[in-house]
Structures are given as structure tokens and as C-alpha cells.
Amino acid sequence: IMFKFVGELMGVDKEERAWPSMQIVGHRTYHENSIPQTWVLAHQNGRLYLGIKEGTMSNSQADCTDPSLWRDPETCLPPPELDPANLYPKVLPRYNLFHPHKHVAGDVYKKQGTIMKADRRYLWQALNTTFVAHTTAREIDACQILDSQPHKSICKYYGVETSSVLLFKYRNETINLTMDQGRVLNLVFEKYDCNLREAIERGYPIHIRDCLQSIAAGIQHMHSLKLVHGDVKPENILVKWSNSAHDAMALRYVIGDFDSTQWKGSVIGGKYGTPFWSRDKKPGVDIVEEDDDWFGFDQLRKCCWRIMVPGSLLGILIIGGAVYFNRQLELSKPLPSLYEADIDAVADGLERSLFTSLHLVKTYIARIEEVNDILRPVTEINPDALIIAAALDKERSEGMVRGPLHGIPVLIKDTIATKDKMNNTAGSYALVGAKVFADSTVAKRLREAGAIILGKTNPSEWGSFRIFNSSNGWSAYGGQTYGPFYPHQDPSGSSSGSAVAASLGLATITLGAETCGSIIDPASYNNVVGMKPTVGFTSRHLVIPISEHMDTIGPLTKTVKDSAYLLQGIAGFDIHDNYTSAIPEDVDMDFVGACKLSALKGARLGVPRNVIQLMSNGITRSMVKAFDDSLEVLRAAGAVVVESDFPAAREFLDDSTIGAKIMGADFVVNIENYLRQLAYNPHNIKNLVELRKWTQDSSLEGYPSKPTELWDTVLQNWNNTEAGFWRAYQQGLYYDGEGGLLGTIERHNLDAVLLPSHFSWNFAGVAGAPIVSVPIGAMHSDQPIVSDADGLVSSAPNIPFGFSFLGAKFNDAKIIGLAYAFEQRTLPSPTEAPSMSHSSSQSTNKMLNTLPKPTRDLTELAKEERSFTFNHFTCEHAWVIGNILRNALRTAECPALIQISSANQTLFHSPSLPGIMPDHEKWSERKRNTVLRWGHSTWFMSCQFEGDYKRFAEHNAMSGDEWSRYTIEGGGYPVFVKGVEGVVGAIVVVGLSVDSEQAHGVVVKAVEEYKDLREGFRSPMRSMTVK
């Protein structure tokens, strides 16, 4: 509380009241347990005193003359051990002196003594006297000891910088003091690139294991010298790029800043620690202990994170440790990237206290905010997510873990109703503000399992059941969701947002809903696992419906096992959904237990070749090849693959509207039932007729450009209680049953049927049979680009596709096991960062050397720069161009930094590969400055001055080090916008292995790529993964 009191005096008007032999500097009254207590700071003869009295301060002399008020000065601020006339410590003979001629100026860091920092300067100004530089002197002594026995994990100390003349400001006056003896001005250390917090914010590739091991080794070394650092925190961990020839990307981590360092076993004096990072100890009372450092180290493990940014989309956060470290680093396996982490990895990190659920939620929210304006997968964040996460962390800390989903963040489709502060809209403004009496059953079960409902994802409005040939991923409320693998990629639907969110890692798991294809197809298009459970395995109670006969709720996740965990948490009987009563009593519901590598051995798997042939217009050569290759994987794992055609496949395709007729008849009745159950219905809409009218009348719903033609049609037909419906339903059951999937499984004694995921869902919808889709590949670089009338690209290079396992009803555990065993055999091996070796350099040169040599003619260059002028330039333009550049440089295995800005606002910032140095940032800024100042590319400037920096600086009359803010190295390119005079932005590429010509050439190529893309042409550079 003393330091709290002292801190509060900073910047306030000081009272200077003369009492007998005592002068009051200031006072504050605190109320502890409703009892006022006044703290008084005073000085006498250059010494500080701290007074504490009950009650408030009055002007009576007795207030300060009471002897019981004043504490022994030794228990207040540290007593002076040096001449109290000194603002800076005297230079003592034992101090090492800094010799500037032995060091390059840019390689050293000068730290001014803490005496003139804000927390001490106020004492000097208030007292009109001096205060002892005790902390600075103590830090020097600690550095002397550490320098005598150096360690690689301790910042290198070079000595002190001294002077006999001191200049400082006091009450707006500059005072020049000449001392009779040299004084310490600065402590001089080896210069590091930044501290750990800054490295994280800049996106450096922080290797947590190496970092923590280095810090632990430094702490142990200090303790061996009987020193306790006293303030272990990210700002005091210094980071520097290694000069190792073997690993140009490695970072060094050392402990620095020793102004809290004190002798082990001594009484704490002066500055010691930082709140949160340090134990709550009182100066002058408590003892300095080694455990003080380990406490800070444990806090560091909680809050040590690594950020990588692939493209401009993803901020990938890893949060390290919370369990008391007990002096030993025990990281048996590397901490996971949350972009890739599955439930097992996240749950393991939570269990080992490497991070908390609260950290996870904050991380995911930050990532959602980063991408949502571009791809729009999330409609809203749960306002209570942080509170829920903290409560679940508390439960875990008390030993109560509900299960594998405890503390796991999940995003759910915005058709799954929740009774909280979030909306339940199905993507329509008609339901914004609508409330339910209770959580939907699946939401309730998620909460009971300990999952954190992080937010809602954007669906295709009304499950794509409003408009014929509607745009996948569009809703009036959520806007247009895009897939992440190609500009304006069709995300498929209707669980569009859930699939994209799972693909981008915006939550550990996501939940969707399917009537016919709404989970499986988006999973296929977005490179994730999707599972459509048997209809009746998961309750639809208070899920905005389409068809009671076909609707089901299922996972979209990174892995098959994650889908098993999620299904395990939500499946089972529900009194509110009578379809769940059909679950057989003896059915296998151990979905997680089914995930065995041996599941394929002896399995009989059918391939309906006639279906694949009939659907050939919907699949590409790359899909066919990947499908056939997958069959070989299955055979190699011990499965028996048999030809098993669907007898009624042709008839079904000729009667392709049968599913839509069933859904329409159900929707008329089911939506009315749902609306009837609302606790609050903001527009009092009771049925589909009223819903159609409200939609057509509302300016928010995009009508008539977004029509209601599907509703118009179904309202003219029968509902699901009429004879016509039952005839259609029975026919649909035949197509999916005896004449299709279920009959084929029974006749051939199959465990599952195999189909490409792009159309597998067509053959299981009416039957309500389960499907699991697993990613197996992406469309080739020569894939023709196909887009719809709304510009959504459904076919293009790099768009993913999947492989489906279809099973008999309630045989979900079986197909989960098969899909898991297949997935484990097809997972790509972990990708390692390419080394900056000779071979990599050859690859880089091979690609970059194919670029045409840029002209050196200034007229031609100026014409080229103006040849492509944007109508406007936004973050979306930057994102597309940036990813074209990133993919090209990744293909070349070329580590480079790509930065695109509008004026001084960064729109895109990404490394192409790990291996970016701090100098890349500086050179990027120099190239941008050059483009913005002179309005030409940096290659233009290089040609103008023939690469001569001296001529460049003299021509522009640059004085001093002004020229160091600019460069004439190629790789900076101007952005022009129609109607705007001059350059508005810059596209910059910086890479150690990219020369000036190549840097310019690759940017020009990317701009041409964007031009081709805008005009609909295909280009060979557009072949790598945007994600």
C-alpha cells in the first residue's frame, strides 16, 4: 500500500506545510474495511519519512507531532547509502567503465539510471532536494557480479558511462551541475532486437520451449551467484536473432534489466517486482527468496505466446503454462498451434495448465475479429464467453472436470437456439431479437459438458430454403460468407460459417446442421471433417427447422476424433424430439472409443461406380484420381473394396426434386411449430405466409433481388400431413433405401459405402443415414474457374474436396471408426520450415530467374506503373494481391516479407515463410517511404540514380541520416486510384535471397495476376494454398 500511496502522489499538487522540523510532501486517505486511514509522506534534513494515522488529515499541528505517527525511516523507502546530494551514483573504483571505441554504436544499449524515471523523479521535484540513487547503484553491483561469471542466458554487460557534468530539468528550467567526482549516467549492455512482448506483437517465430529453457537456465545461474532477479516478465526477456550459420531463423533469449535484483536472503529494499508478475511482498519487511523468480517464471509460462500470420488472415496464438514450475522445465511435447490443435491437444494443455480457457476465448475472439470483415463466417460473439470461461477455469482449478469438452470453445450455427444474450436468426432479420424459453437441447448438452459457446456462425439464410439456386453462405443478417482457399470462393452451405470457422481455426470445434448436404458439402469445400449423424441421434428441439424427417445436428472439426468427441457430448434421447426415441437400446454410442487405427482391417466397403459415372459432371479429374488413390489406401489397411451399384440411381436422378418436395412440405408445418415456441417474437410472425410477407416488405431482406420463390412454390403444394406428401416420402425412402444406399449395404454385407463428398449427401438425405467426410485433396492448378451469377467461385485451383463414408442408420460409430483409420493414414506429415540452405536458394533462384528482366527505361517504367490503376483500393484488394505474392514466394521456398499499405495504414502484412528478420521490417518501411514520397517504384528510383545512394541523397538534399529512411532497392511498387492525384499506397516485398530486379519483377507479376483474376483469366501463379 505504501507504493500505491507513493504512486498516487505522482502528478498531483503537493502540499508543503511546515511543521516543527518536518515538511509534508503530500497525503492520501484510504478506507480499509470502512475505517479511514491517512498516509503522509514528509521529509526532514533530506531524509524521507512515512506516517500512518487513523482517521482523516486535519490542519492541526498535533497531526504530525504525534510520535506514534512516524515510522522508523529504515522501514520506509530505502535509506541513503551514498551522498544524498547525488542524483546519480558516484563512480566507484570497482565499476567497469564502458569504452565506446571497442564497440559499434549500433550494437550497444544505454540504460539511464532509474533515478530519473517517473516513479522517483516526483520525489526530487516535490522535495526540492535529492533522493538517493540506491536502485541504480544496486543494479550496477549486480551487473558487476554477473559480468564476472557470464552466462549465455544473461544479457551481456559492458560497464557504465560516466560524466562529471549533469544536465536536468527542474520546474521548466535546465540546470547544469558540475560534480566534484564522476557520476554514472548510463549502464551499457549488449543491444537486443526487442523484448519478448514486442517480439510477440511483431509476429516473430517464438519457440516457446527454447525460450522457457533459456529463461530457466538464466534464473538458475543467477541463483547460483546468490542473486534473485526479482522481476521476471516479458518486458525483461530480451530477444535477438541468432547469427548461427546452421539456423538463420533461431532466436536468442536472455534475461535483462536488473534494477530489481537483490541478494538472496536480504530484506527487500526499494524497487522489487511488478504486479501480476511478482509475489505480493512488502519492502522493508519481507525477505528476498529464489521462489520469487520462479513465481514470475510461472506467470510467464501462463502468458508466453507465439503468433504466426499466414496470409493476412490468421493470428495463431499459443499460450504457455500456469502450474507452479518448481524449478524444472517439463514440456514433454511441443505446445500446439491453436490453428491446428485438436480437442486432445487443447484439453492436454488445459490439464497441464499450459494455458486457460479464458486465454483460449480471448485468443479466438481476436482471430475472429481479424478475419471476419473479409470472410464473414461469424455473426456474433457470445457476450458472456469470458465469464463462462473463467468459471470453467475455476472448476478445473478445484479439481472438477466435466469431461473432454470442459473449457473447449465451440462456435454453433445460427439456427441452434440459445437462451442468452445472443440472437437465434437462421440468417434472417425476421428473427433478430427473438427469444426462446430455454436452450436448445444440443446447446444445453454442450454447456453441461463444459463447452464454451463462443458465438454463432453465419448460415445460408433459412438453410438455403428461400430462394431457388440461392447463394451459398448468404444471409441478410450475416452477409456473404466466403471460403478461404480462393478469392470469392463458394463456401457451400448451409452450414457455411461453421465450416469456414473450423477451417480457419476460429474455435476448437464447430457445430452445424444438415437437411441434405448442409454439413458434408461445406466440409468438403473447406478442408475439414464433417459428420452428418443419423437423423434421430441428435435432438432438433429448438433448432430452427426445415424438415423433421431429414434435419440433424452434427460437427465440423479438424479431425474425425474431434467429431466423435462432439457427437458424444450431444447425442442421445430427448423427450422433446420423438425421433430420438428410435435410437436402438443396444446401439454403440462410444464414438470416441470407435476411433481405432485397426478399424479398417477386414472392413467391407462398397463403391457404387454407376453413381460416380452418373455424377461425373460434378467432379473433376483431380477428384477422381484422389478418390481412386484413397481406395488403395483402404486396401493397404486391410479393407475389402467391392463394386456395389445403386439399382435406382438413374431413376433417383431423373426424379431429383423428390427431396425438395419433402423438405417443402415439412417446412410449412415445422417453421410454424418453431415460431409458436418462441418466448418473444419481435414481429409476431406465426407461420410461413406471414414470414413471406414480412420478408417481402422488409428493406433489410434484399427483396426482390433476393426473392422468396421457393416459399411461393411450397405454399402452393401440400404439407406433410397430406397423402401426396406420404407418397413422395415413401418414394424417397426407396431411392435412399432398397434402391440405393441402405439396400446396397444390406445386400453386399457392407460396413460402409464410399463416394466423393461433393455429391455423397444426395444419397442419404431422405433415409436419414449417417455420413462422415474426410479431406483428401484440392483441385489442380489447371482447374477451370467457374463462378455463379453472384460471383461465387465453385471451381478453381486449390479448392478442396473430401472423401465420404456412408453407413446404415445408427451405425455412426462404425463409420467414425473407418473414417478415423483412413484419416490417420492420409494425414500429411508435419511441415517443417524450409532451411535457408543452398538447395533452397537454388529453388528460389530457379523460380525468380524465370521472371522477365524489368526495363531500365524511366519512361517505360512510369507508363508500366500507371498501366493498372484501381477504381478503389481496400483491404480486400490488398488481401488478394498479398496472397498471390505470398503463394508465389512460398512456391519458390523464398522467405520474404510482404507488406501492402494505403498511405501509412497497413492493409496486409505477412511473411511468405518462417525466416523473417527484424531488418526486413526496417527495409519494408524504407521502401514504402520511398514510394510514398516520390510516387514511383523503388526500382524506378534505382534506375534513375543507377543504384548510387550517394547521388540519390545529394540530388534530394538529404542531410544527416535522413537518407537512411529511404532506399532505392527494388521491391516497392506504387498504388494509384482513379480520380486521386498521386500515389495512395505501396506494395512492398523484402527478402534476403531476392535481389533488386527480382523483387520488382515478382511485384509486377502479382499485379498482373490480380489484373488477370479481375478479368477472369487463368494464371499459373494462382495454384498454391491461400490458407
Active-site entry in 260, 353, 460, 494: 494
The cell 482523516 sits on which residue?
Answer: 56
Mean pLDDT lowest among 203-217, 350-364, 926-940:
203-217
Which residue type, as a one-letter code, is found at position 218? G
Q: What's the pLDDT at 1?
A: 37
Detail the DSSP E strand segments found in 725-767: 752-756
pLDDT digits (tens, 9 = 90+) for 465-487: 999 988 999 999 999 999 998 88
Least confident of 238-242, 419-423, 646-650, 765-769: 238-242
Q: How far is CA 726 from CA 75, 729, 731, 768, 832, in A?
A: 89, 5, 8, 16, 57
Model confidence band, residue 29 (pLDDT cutoffs 50, 70, 90): low
In this structure, is residue 633 part of a structural domain?
yes
Which of 826, 852, 871 is the last residue before a domain boundary?
826
The pLDDT, as a whole number, for residue 919 is 66
> Is 1020 part of any domain?
no
Q: How high is the pLDDT of residue 1012?
A: 56
* CATH code of residue 486: 3.90.1300.10
More confident residue, 128 or 621: 621
Helix (H, G, I), strand (E, B) or coil at 288: coil
Is 833 inside any structural domain? no
In-domain check, residue 876: yes
Is 684's pLDDT higher than 80?
A: yes
- On the question of pLDDT at 48 being above 90, the answer is no
Query: Pick the residue with more confidence: 123 or 259?
Result: 259
Spatial CB neighbours of 17, under 8 Å, sequence gap ≥ 6: 23, 24, 59
Q: Report pLDDT for 100.
A: 83
Active site residue 518: yes
- Per-residue confidence (pLDDT) for residue 98, from 0 to 100: 85
Do 478 and 611 reside in the same domain of the chain?
A: no
Question: Which of 773, 793, 826 lies at the terminal end of a domain, its last residue?
Answer: 826
Query: Can you read off the three cell numbers belonging to residue 214?
Result: 533459456
Work out the pLDDT band at 913, boundaries 50, 70, 90: confident
Residue 165: pLDDT over 80: no
Indicate if 240 belongs to the active site.
Answer: no
| Predicted confidence band of residue 31 (pLDDT cuts 50, 70, 90) | low
CATH number of the domain where residue 204 is located: 1.10.510.10
Residues 981 and 879 sit within 8 Å (Cβ to Cβ): no
Confidence of residue 593 (pLDDT cuts 50, 70, 90): very high
Shared-domain flag, residues 569 and 606: no
pLDDT for residue 116: 42
Q: What is the pLDDT of residue 297?
A: 87
Average of pLDDT values for 584-613?
96
Instruction: For residue 303, give the C-alpha cell.
Output: 502468458
pLDDT of residue 15: 37
Domain count of the chain? 6
Host domain of residue 635: 598-664+678-826
Q: What is the 3-state secondary structure (H, E, C) of 370-394?
A: HHHHHHCCEEEECCCHHHHHHHHHH
Do residues 652 and 739 both lie within one domain? yes
pLDDT band of 780, cuts 50, 70, 90: confident
> Do 496 and 628 have their domain in common?
no
- Mean pLDDT of the 871-897 span: 80
**Helix runs in 783-892, H state only:** 812-826, 838-848, 858-866, 875-891
Kind of pairing between the strands at 752-756 and 604-607:
parallel
| pLDDT value of position 838 | 31
Q: Is the pLDDT of residue 739 over 60?
A: yes
* 513 neighbors 496 (Cβ within 8 angstroms): no
In this prediction, residue 210 has a pLDDT band, given cuts at 50, 70 and 90, of confident
Cα 891 → chain centroid: 24
Q: In this structure, are 731 and 808 located in the same domain?
A: yes
Whether residues 900 and 1009 fall in one domain: yes
Q: Which residue has the higher pLDDT, 976 or 717?
A: 976
User: Among 77, 102, 123, where does a domain finish?
Assistant: 77
Q: Which candidate in 518, 760, 924, 1023 is catalytic?
A: 518
pLDDT of residue 870: 84
- Tell me whether the omega of the peptide bond preceding residue 409 falls within 30 degrees of 0, making it cis: no
pLDDT at 195 > cutoff 60:
yes
CA 529, CA 522: separation in Å to the nearest integer? Answer: 10
Instruction: Let me know if residue 339 belongs to a domain.
Output: no
Specify the length of the chain in residues. 1027
Catalytic residue, candidates 413, 444, 661, 809: 413
Same domain, 10 and 100: no
State whether 785 and 883 are in the same domain. Answer: no
Look at residue 123 and tell me if it is in a domain: yes
DSSP state for residue 800 in the 8-state scheme: E
Other Cβ atoms less than 10 A from the Cβ of 369: the count is 12
> Residues 188, 160: contact at Cβ < 8 Å?
yes
Amino acid identity of residue 692, one-letter, is R
Q: What is the pLDDT of residue 922?
A: 81
Mean predicted confidence (pLDDT) in 436-443: 98
Q: Verify that 162 and 201 share a domain, yes or no.
A: no
What pLDDT is stored for residue 178 in this prediction?
A: 63
Identify whether residues 160 and 228 lie together within a single domain: no
Residue 335 has a pLDDT of 52
- Asked if the model's pLDDT at residue 14 lies above 50, the reply is no
Q: Would residue 153 count as lying in a domain?
A: yes
Residue 527, pLDDT > 90, answer: yes
pTM comes to 0.57
Span 644-674, pLDDT tens digits: 999 999 999 999 889 999 999 999 999 999 9
Pick from 901, 897, 893, 891: which is nearest to 917 by CA?
A: 897
Q: Residue 154 — pLDDT band, cuts 50, 70, 90?
A: very high
Distance linking the first and last C-alpha atoms of the chain: 51
The residue that leads in pLDDT, 962 or 16, is: 962
- Whether residue 820 sits in one domain with residue 711: yes
Same domain for 804 and 928, yes or no, is no
CA distance 640 to 631: 10
Instruction: Name the phi and psi angles at 604, rounded to 5.
Output: -100, 120
Q: How far apart are CA 88 and CA 898, in angstroms?
A: 46
Label residue 425 by pLDDT band (50, 70, 90).
very high
Predicted confidence at residue 367, as pLDDT, reads: 85
68 prior amide bond cis, ω within 30: no
C-alpha torsion sign, points 1008, 1010, 1016, 1018: positive
Q: Is residue 232 helix, strand or coil?
A: coil
pLDDT in tens, 947-984: 888 888 888 888 656 777 889 989 999 999 888 888 99
Q: What share of the chain is helix, strand, coil (3-state, %, to 5)?
A: 40, 20, 40
Query: Looking at the predicted structure, is the pLDDT value of residue 545 above 90?
Result: yes
Pick the range with the lowest mean pLDDT from 127-136, 234-243, 275-284, 375-384.
127-136
327 domain-assigned: no
At residue 411, the 3 state secondary structure works out as strand
What is the crossing angle of helices 621-636 and 812-826, to 10°? Answer: 100
What pLDDT, on the 0 to 100 scale, is given for residue 311? 27
Q: Is 468 helix (H, G, I), strand (E, B) or coil?
A: coil
Identify the residue with better confidence: 695 or 961.
695
Per-residue model confidence (pLDDT) at position 41:
61
The torsion defined by the Cα of 273, 274, 275 and 281, in degrees rounded to 10, comes to: 10
pLDDT at 369 over 60: yes
Higher pLDDT, 997 or 514: 514
What nine digits make up the cell of 639?
479393407
